[in-house]
């Protein structure tokens, strides 16, 4: 018994040509619109509000007042900062899932400076010190798994993941140590009177310094990745370790150095979170942004400037969803849910950029 | 009555991106016949057969099996039609045993019933003359054992049409002979057999009919008894070739690389090179011959600092200025810093020599990006160099800023060789430098190597084509199973002699030659 | 002694949650898919099981315990499989990166579960007020004679049925992987999909099925957490998530063997609670002690990378997409 088969209905093949950028971004745009429509449907089914009004309310939540606008900017800068930190690691194909831990360690270093030094140093000296120590703390936290990876090829995905939980416990320890008031199991706002270690207001805005620091980091990282010798080494190691060895690079050294940089920038994000935003530390200082930022860096193909757009979009959604949640008496988690949906769509859309789908009639379908 | 065709392929076309791998090919296969599918590397033989085995789908054209039109959408469909293919890269799961690999995907029983499998494997082995240990794990097997297992696997599935993709590339002559015996047994049993190869003597020895492909096109078929190697070569390459590779006399020979007692173990502790000693001279081309996997890769990588070397080995580089440098124990970085002018064209172009996703400029920069004190890369110099290579070697490319993976194989290799010779090396090592290249590009490469030789560089040329080795190289070092079985003069050596040395070590080979 | 017993019991409860997660993930990873969405999938299992019975109990004055259990388990299993299906669709059909997709799934499902968990709490009238008493009791019921037994057997038999089911599932998964033809095919898919494909195995189908079924099993861990540990209420403090990551770690710890996962899970469970029973700890040093399971995982990870036994390595194609015509 030998059967004959029909030609398959759908055929998938790799695109022969790289799509021009406008087409690729067009596909991503379609995915984004699709996901927004789905989100609108979900929100509608929960709160039964005209979807357009929903987005109006979300916009209001994100930019409705000057203060809200600045909070949105602050959060965008935070997410962007972590994304910038992760970019070199991921470009090297080093799965640094440990940004959460690196942020927390940076945050602890900052908080420790604020608690112990208080007004012993002028803010002008204290802030740079905190910056450096946070970077160092985050860098060390990133370096540890890198050392084992370089030495024994220990799986970094799981190592960095575990380092997050170790960092959370370290944070809990310090929260218990610095508890204020006693018994509250939280640190409370540090230095509320002296404001030592707080970012100063610049041009009358609290978060100007956050923007300056992160944008400077974005430019620096762009230059580092694209124009420095070390950035070139990162790219080669990420593509092929054999090629890197052939080109006389020391792969272990590149891995360790890059993770030091990656962890340090994430540590600086912790500094921003403590000094430039909450003025306290808790186990939710990182708040899952270390994971979200992976997706930011990945989708932006490690380009810091594209990351600005993606971070802004995600934070806009987050702030907007929180606004809707409070207006309609829902809880904040709705924003993670919506973020997830949008990311699913964008992730899926990459397929249509890299592959083409043909149906049986051989008509080409431009997805 | 005309013999019933087992397979009829009509007007098959297959493209990958912009490359036409098969261009309207029609081919018939008959039961009880061994058909050689002959063609150079990249002529589309494997692609064509992959469409019979369900790996690829044709873009257009029809396939008939035993007179019925079929669509082979997957290997499963192929098996159901009685077609089995033994791929060049074995399709075996390393951590499973032979028996487990054989029943893979069959689902004859819900539970794994190895007892029954062993029995049936034994029957097949007895019938055609194989030996397979059903309980041996694949990762413990030799290459020839794996190949035998592949054939048994296909027969176990009841294949009447067997396709073997370059089965002898990895075998010793003895193993090849055994394989041919089995193939004749299968033919006598009424099976249709296709052997993909580019080795003419095998075509002459084993096949009944030859079909020739060239650059994706079907050239024609002919009964083996009515043809000869010369005619087949003409069909294969499109014009009569005597290779006629230029070979100037070495000028001003100087000791350049002195290797003594080189021993290299792989990650599993298996000896890949054993006590290898030789000297390469500046101003000559030293060829290295051997069956694939005899230690050629390890040898070149050891010199380049990419292999862990056993104690007692010595690799000494004599540079033109009279300095002697020991390379053992030095990392590629340390060798780079010595500035001794060591150039290496590795076998795996995209896995080692180049970065596929980077553009031409960044690839040219790979060897030189460290130069200068600045922490930033200088892209001006490599850009000029890339342009120079493109111009001088006629590299066909839309521009310098496209990913090098988008170039055709020949152009990729020109960029790689161009980069390696740009630094006026004192030692140039090349591994399979012309593999997969068209004839014109191959000659360009030979010419470049001769140029380096004339400039006084020591050139090491690892090759697989004995004809080329014998016409290009001044001396040929023959490796056999990680040992040097001898070094011969390229101008005097006979092909048979080298072939023998590839499979038998030193004295044994000589004795064998005298016997013959 | 009583302290030791309660440590043991607490350890088994957490261990069971982890075991479900890890067993499901082993099945998934055997097909070559590294699904970092396990915590999210466990969230899905927990919340959907809870919601299913919540509405059933709310609308039935006299709910049947057996029906409660069936509803909760099928809701949890199906919802988790749906999570696995999203992951499969993105990674297998649309070839998105596995790690990124898994993390996104965790973000999405964490948000989804805590959103509905929070809403459910509100609907039920506040924290700890979700009333699925019948279901939770059914999940925690032991055999009737158990309370009268002496300490040791009472301890061993004193768990709800899902604790034993977890062990059974682990054994069944192990048997399927190692003894059946389907399991053999699955291992081949995870080791070398091109070979499996050439052998006529439908790689896509196997990957989809293993990932979805694995997700279903993982999701039961979330359900057990909700029904047994939090006694039918919702806890949005992220307990499921951290156990979910431990489940991912356990897969490595067990070197992809479900049977080895059983004792590993209990070990992880014990380590999670050890701080509670070590005398003389301040609240601060307790926090440091809570690191233990994570530290142990790190140590195992390092040890496994030092000692590279062929049999202990991950499936060779783990994390890699498969596309037949790639070249």
Give A170's Cβ-side CA count (13 Å radius). Answer: 22
Pairing mode of beta strands A364-365, B83-86: unpaired
Residue B453 lies inside a defined structural domain of this protein: yes
Q: Are B118 and B134 in contact (CB under 8 A)?
A: yes
B157 and B30: one domain?
yes
Q: C172 CA to chain A: closest CA distance, Å?
A: 27
- Residue C73, pLDDT > 90, answer yes
B316 and B359: one domain?
no
B141 and B187: one domain?
yes
B316 and B361: one domain?
no
Q: Residue B295's closest CA among B313, B271, B278?
A: B271
Contact yes or no for A243 and B17 at CB 8 A:
no
pLDDT of residue A1: 35
Q: What is the mean pLDDT of residues C107-125?
A: 85
B228 and B273: one domain?
no
**What mean pLDDT is reported for chain C?**
87
Q: Are A187 and A281 in contact (CB under 8 A)?
A: yes
Say how many domains are in chain B.
Answer: 3
pLDDT of residue C29: 94
Is 1.10.3470 the CATH number for A75-327? yes
Nearest chain B alpha carbon to A249: B333
From-to residues of CATH 1.10.3470 in chain A: 75-327
pLDDT of residue A272: 93
Residue B409 lies inside a defined structural domain of this protein: yes
Q: What is the mean pLDDT of residues A160-169?
A: 91
Nearest chain B alpha carbon to A355: B17
Band (pLDDT 50/70/90 cuts) for residue A366 is very low
Q: What is the pLDDT of residues B253-284, one digit of tens each?
A: 888 899 999 999 877 677 888 899 999 998 99
The domains located in chain C, with CATH, are: 2-312 (1.10.3470)
CATH number of residue B299's parent domain: 3.40.50.300
- Residue C1, pLDDT > 50, answer yes
Minimal Cβ distance to B75: which of C179, C191, C197: C197
Q: Are B282 and B256 in contact (CB under 8 A)?
A: yes
Mutate to test the interface with B, among A1, A3, A4, A230 (most CBs of B within 10 A): A4
Contact yes or no for B17 and A245 at CB 8 A:
no
Which residues, numbered 229 to 288 in chain A, qualify as contacts with chain B under a Cβ-Cβ cut-off of 8 Å?
Answer: 229-232, 235-236, 239-240, 242-243, 245-250
- The residue range of the domain holding B331 is 254-341+425-515
- Residues of C whose CB is below 8 A from B350: none
pLDDT of residue A233: 94
Kindly state the DSSP code that residue C225 receives in the 8-state scheme. I
Nearest chain A alpha carbon to C286: A173
Q: Are B82 and B158 in contact (CB under 8 A)?
A: yes
B310 and B363: one domain?
no
Q: B379 CA to chain A: closest CA distance, Å?
A: 9
Contact yes or no for A166 and C306 at CB 8 A:
no
B324 and B429: one domain?
yes
CA B278 – CA C231 distance, rounded (Å):
77
Decide: helix, strand or coil at residue A85.
Answer: helix
- Residues of C whose CB is below 8 A from A347: 90, 94, 96-97, 100-101, 104
Decide: helix, strand or coil at residue C142.
Answer: coil
Show which of B423, B453, B478 is a domain's final residue: B423
Sign of CA dihedral C262, C264, C265, C269: positive
Q: Could you tell me which chains touch chain A, where touching means 3 or more CB pairs under 8 A?
A: B, C
Strands (E) across B198-334 are located at 209-214, 217-223, 254-265, 271-282, 285-289, 314-318, 324-326
Nearest chain A alpha carbon to C122: A330
Please provide residue B304's backbone torsions phi and psi, each rounded to the nearest 5 degrees.
-80, 0
Q: Could you tell me which chains touch chain B, where touching means 3 or more CB pairs under 8 A?
A: A, C
pLDDT of residue A4: 41
Q: C90 CA to chain A: closest CA distance, Å?
A: 6
CA A304 – CA A220 distance, rounded (Å):
9
Q: C115 CA to chain B: closest CA distance, Å?
A: 43
CA C57 – CA C132 distance, rounded (Å):
6
B377 and B457: one domain?
no
Q: What is the mean pLDDT of residues C63-89?
A: 93
CA B413 – CA B411 distance, rounded (Å):
5
Q: What is the pLDDT of residues A82-110, one digit of tens each?
A: 999 999 999 999 989 999 999 999 999 99
- Residues of C whose CB is below 8 A from A288: 107, 110
pLDDT of residue A9: 62
Q: Is ipTM over 0.90?
A: no
Q: A93 CA to chain B: closest CA distance, Å?
A: 14
Q: A209 CA to chain B: closest CA distance, Å?
A: 28
Q: How far apart are the first and last CA of chain C?
A: 64
B56 and B171: one domain?
yes
CA A253 – CA C131 distance, rounded (Å):
57
- Residues of B whose CB is below 8 A from C202: 74, 76
Residue B249 lies inside a defined structural domain of this protein: no
Cβ contacts of B317 within 8 Å, gap of 6 or more: B256, B257, B324, B325, B326, B327, B340, B342, B426, B427
Residue B500 lies inside a defined structural domain of this protein: yes
Q: Does C291 touch chain B (CB under 8 A)?
A: no
Band (pLDDT 50/70/90 cuts) for residue A224 is very high
pLDDT of residue A244: 93
Contact yes or no for C181 and B75 at CB 8 A:
no
Kindly state the DSSP code that residue C180 receives in the 8-state scheme. B
Contact yes or no for B55 and C198 at CB 8 A:
yes
Neighbours of B477 (CB within 10 A): 25
Query: Virtual CA dihedral for B325, B330, B334, B335, nearest 10 degrees?
Result: 50
- Residues of A whose CB is below 8 A from B333: 248-250
DSSP labels for B444-499? HHHHHHHHHHHTT-EEEEE-S-HHHHHHH-SEEEEEETTEEEEEEETTT--HHHHH
B377 and B492: one domain?
no
**What mean pLDDT is reported for chain B?**
84
Q: Residue C14's closest CA among C53, C42, C54?
A: C42
- Residues of C whose CB is below 8 A from A13: 325
Q: A179 CA to chain C: closest CA distance, Å?
A: 10
pLDDT of residue C285: 82
Q: What is the mean pLDDT of residues C213-221?
A: 96
pLDDT of residue B477: 93
Residue B71 lies inside a defined structural domain of this protein: yes
Sign of CA dihedral B88, B93, B98, B103: negative
Contact yes or no for B93 and C187 at CB 8 A:
yes
Q: What is the pLDDT of residues B448-489, one digit of tens each?
A: 999 899 988 899 999 877 778 888 899 999 988 788 988 999
Give A312's Cβ-side CA count (13 Å radius). Answer: 12
Show which of B206, B237, B268 is a domain's final residue: B237
Q: b/e per residue, C143-178, with b = 16+ CB within 10 A?
A: eeeeeeeeeeeebeebbbbbbebbbebbeebbebbe
Strands (E) across B151-216 are located at 161-165, 192-197, 209-214
Kindly state the DSSP code that residue B355 receives in the 8-state scheme. -
Show which of B400, B423, B446 is a domain's final residue: B423
User: C-alpha distances in angstroms, B497 versus B173, B474, C81?
Assistant: 14, 16, 65
Kindly state the DSSP code that residue C91 receives in the 8-state scheme. I
Contact yes or no for B70 and A242 at CB 8 A:
no
- Residue B19, pLDDT > 90, answer no
Contact yes or no for B105 and C201 at CB 8 A:
yes
Q: Could you tell me which chains touch chain C, where touching means 3 or more CB pairs under 8 A?
A: A, B
Contact yes or no for C199 and B87 at CB 8 A:
no
Q: What is the pLDDT of residues C156-200, one digit of tens each?
A: 787 888 999 999 999 999 999 999 999 999 999 999 998 888 888
CA C74 – CA B111 distance, rounded (Å):
28
- Residue B64, pLDDT > 60, answer yes
Q: Does B93 touch chain C (CB under 8 A)?
A: yes
- Residues of A whose CB is below 8 A from B332: 245-249
Q: What is the mean pLDDT of residues C107-123?
A: 86
- Residues of A whose CB is below 8 A from B353: 243, 246
B137 and B57: one domain?
yes
Minimal Cβ distance to B92: which of C183, C195, C202: C195
Minimal Cβ distance to B355: which of A6, A229, A240: A240
**What mean pLDDT is reported for chain A?**
85
CA B211 – CA B48 distance, rounded (Å):
12
Contact yes or no for C283 and A298 at CB 8 A:
no
pLDDT of residue A2: 39
Residue B1 lies inside a defined structural domain of this protein: no
- Residue B7, pLDDT > 70, answer yes
Q: Are B364 and B382 in contact (CB under 8 A)?
A: yes
Which residues, numbered 135 to 154 in chain A, qualify as contacts with chain B under a Cβ-Cβ cut-off of 8 Å?
Answer: none
pLDDT of residue B238: 64
Q: Does B351 touch chain A (CB under 8 A)?
A: yes
Contact yes or no for B112 and C324 at CB 8 A:
no
């Amino acid at each position: 018994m030998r059967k004959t088969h029909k030609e398959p209905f759908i055929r998938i093949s790799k695109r022969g040509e790289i799509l021009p950028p406008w087409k690729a971004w067009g596909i991503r745009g379609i995915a984004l619109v699709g996901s927004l429509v789905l989100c609108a449907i979900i929100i509608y089914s929960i709160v039964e509000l005209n979807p357009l009004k929903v987005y109006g309310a979300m916009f209001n939540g994100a930019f409705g007042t000057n203060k809200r606008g600045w909070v949105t900017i602050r959060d965008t800068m935070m997410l962007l900062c972590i994304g910038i930190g992760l970019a070199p690691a991921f470009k090297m194909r080093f799965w640094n899932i440990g940004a959460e831990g690196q942020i927390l360690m940076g945050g602890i270093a900052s908080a420790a400076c604020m608690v112990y030094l208080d007004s012993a140093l002028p803010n002008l000296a204290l802030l740079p010190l905190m910056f450096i120590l946070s970077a160092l703390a985050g860098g060390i936290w990133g370096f540890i798994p890198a050392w084992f990876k370089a030495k024994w090829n220990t799986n970094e995905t799981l190592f960095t993941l575990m380092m997050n939980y170790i960092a959370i416990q370290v944070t809990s320890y310090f929260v218990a140590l610095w508890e204020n008031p006693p018994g509250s199991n939280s640190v409370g706002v540090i230095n509320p009177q002296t404001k030592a270690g707080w970012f100063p207001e610049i041009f009358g805005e609290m978060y100007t310094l956050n923007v300056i620091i992160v944008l400077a980091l974005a430019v620096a990282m762009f230059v580092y990745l694209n124009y420095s010798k070390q950035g070139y080494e990162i790219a080669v190691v990420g593509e092929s370790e054999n090629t890197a060895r052939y080109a006389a690079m020391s792969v272990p050294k590149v891995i360790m150095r890059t993770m030091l940089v990656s962890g340090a920038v994430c540590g600086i994000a912790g500094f921003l979170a403590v000094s430039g935003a909450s003025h306290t530390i808790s186990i939710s200082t990182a708040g899952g942004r270390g994971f979200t930022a992976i997706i930011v860096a990945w989708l932006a193909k490690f380009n810091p400037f594209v990351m600005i757009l993606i971070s802004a979009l995600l934070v806009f959604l987050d702030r907007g969803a929180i606004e809707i949640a409070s207006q309609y008496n829902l809880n904040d988690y709705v924003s993670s849910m919506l973020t997830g949906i949008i990311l699913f769509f964008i992730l899926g859309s990459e397929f249509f950029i890299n592959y083409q789908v043909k149906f049986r009639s051989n008509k080409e379908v431009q997805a | 009555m005309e013999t019933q065709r087992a397979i009829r392929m009509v007007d098959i076309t297959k493209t990958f991106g912009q490359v036409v791998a098969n261009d309207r090919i029609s081919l018939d296969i008959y039961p009880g016949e061994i058909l050689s599918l002959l063609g150079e590397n990249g002529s589309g033989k494997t692609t064509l057969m992959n469409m019979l085995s369900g790996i690829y789908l044709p873009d257009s054209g029809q396939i008939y099996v035993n007179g019925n039109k079929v669509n082979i959408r997957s290997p499963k469909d192929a098996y159901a039609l009685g077609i089995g293919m033994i791929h060049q890269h074995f399709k075996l799961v390393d951590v499973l045993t032979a028996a487990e690999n054989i029943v893979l995907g069959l689902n004859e029983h819900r539970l794994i019933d190895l007892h029954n499998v062993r029995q049936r494997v034994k029957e097949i082995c007895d019938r055609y003359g194989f030996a397979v240990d059903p309980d041996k794990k694949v990762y413990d097997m030799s290459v020839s054992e794996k190949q035998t297992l592949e054939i048994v696997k296909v027969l176990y599935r009841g294949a009447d049409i067997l396709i073997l993709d370059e089965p002898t590339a990895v075998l010793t002559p003895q193993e090849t002979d055994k394989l041919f015996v089995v193939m004749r047994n299968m033919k006598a049993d009424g099976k249709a057999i296709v052997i993909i190869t580019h080795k003419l003597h095998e075509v002459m020895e084993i096949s009944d009919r030859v079909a020739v492909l060239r650059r994706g096109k079907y050239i024609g078929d002919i009964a083996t008894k009515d043809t000869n190697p010369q005619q087949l070569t003409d069909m294969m390459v499109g014009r009569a070739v005597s290779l006629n590779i230029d070979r100037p006399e070495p000028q001003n020979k100087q000791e350049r690389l002195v290797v003594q007692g080189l021993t290299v173990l792989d990650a599993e502790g298996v000896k890949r090179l054993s006590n290898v000693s030789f000297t390469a001279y500046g101003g000559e081309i030293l060829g290295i011959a051997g069956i694939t996997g005899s230690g050629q890769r390890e040898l070149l990588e050891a010199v380049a600092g990419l292999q862990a070397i056993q104690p007692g080995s010595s690799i000494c580089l004599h540079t033109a200025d009279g300095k002697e440098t020991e390379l053992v124990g030095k990392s590629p970085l340390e060798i780079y810093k010595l500035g001794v002018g060591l150039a290496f064209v590795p076998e795996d172009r995209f896995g080692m020599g180049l970065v596929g996703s980077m553009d031409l400029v960044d690839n040219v920069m790979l060897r030189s990006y460290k130069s200068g004190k600045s922490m930033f890369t200088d892209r001006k110099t490599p850009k000029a160099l890339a342009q120079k290579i493109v111009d001088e070697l006629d590299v066909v490319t839309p521009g310098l800023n496209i990913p090098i993976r988008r170039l055709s194989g020949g152009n990729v290799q020109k960029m790689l060789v161009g980069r390696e010779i740009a630094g006026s090396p004192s030692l140039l090592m090349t591994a399979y430098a012309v593999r997969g290249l068209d004839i014109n590009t191959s000659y360009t490469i030979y010419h470049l190597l001769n140029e380096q030789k004339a400039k006084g560089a020591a050139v090491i040329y690892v090759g697989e084509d004995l004809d080329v080795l014998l016409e290009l190289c001044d001396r040929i070092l023959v490796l056999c199973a990680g040992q040097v079985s001898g070094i011969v003069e390229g101008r005097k050596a006979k092909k048979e002699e080298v072939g023998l040395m590839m499979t038998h070590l030193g004295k044994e080979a000589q004795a064998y030659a005298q016997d013959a | 002694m009583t302290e030791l017993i309660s440590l043991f019991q607490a350890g088994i409860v957490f261990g069971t949650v982890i075991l479900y997660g890890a067993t499901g993930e082993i099945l998934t990873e055997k097909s070559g898919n590294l699904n970092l969405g396990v915590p999210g999938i466990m969230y899905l299992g927990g919340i959907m099981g809870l919601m299913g019975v919540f509405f059933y109990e709310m609308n039935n004055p006299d709910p049947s315990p057996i029906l409660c259990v069936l509803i909760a388990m099928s809701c949890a299993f199906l919802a988790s499989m749906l999570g696995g299906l999203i992951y499969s669709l993105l990674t297998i059909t649309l070839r998105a990166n596995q790690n990124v997709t898994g993390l996104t799934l965790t973000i999405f499902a964490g948000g989804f579960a805590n959103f509905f968990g929070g809403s459910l709490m509100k609907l039920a009238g506040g924290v700890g007020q979700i009333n699925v008493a019948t279901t939770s009791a059914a999940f925690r019921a032991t055999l009737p004679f158990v309370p009268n037994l002496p300490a040791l057997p009472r301890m061993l038999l004193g768990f709800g049925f899902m604790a034993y089911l977890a062990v059974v599932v682990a054994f069944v998964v192990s048997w399927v992987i190692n003894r059946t033809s389907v399991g053999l095919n699955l291992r081949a898919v995870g080791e070398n999909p091109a070979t499996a494909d050439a052998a006529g195995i439908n790689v896509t189908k196997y990957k989809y099925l293993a990932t979805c079924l694995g997700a279903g099993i993982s999701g039961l861990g979330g359900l057990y957490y909700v029904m047994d540990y939090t006694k039918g209420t919702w806890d949005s403090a992220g307990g499921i998530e951290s156990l979910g990551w431990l489940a991912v770690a356990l897969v490595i710890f067990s070197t992809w063997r479900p049977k080895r996962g059983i004792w590993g899970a209990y070990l992880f469970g014990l380590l999670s609670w050890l701080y509670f029973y070590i005398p003389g700890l301040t609240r601060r040093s307790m926090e440091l002690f809570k690191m233990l399971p994570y530290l142990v995982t790190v140590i195992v990870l390092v040890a496994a990378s030092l000692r590279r036994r062929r049999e202990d390595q991950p499936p060779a194609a783990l994390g890699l997409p498969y596309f037949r015509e790639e070249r």
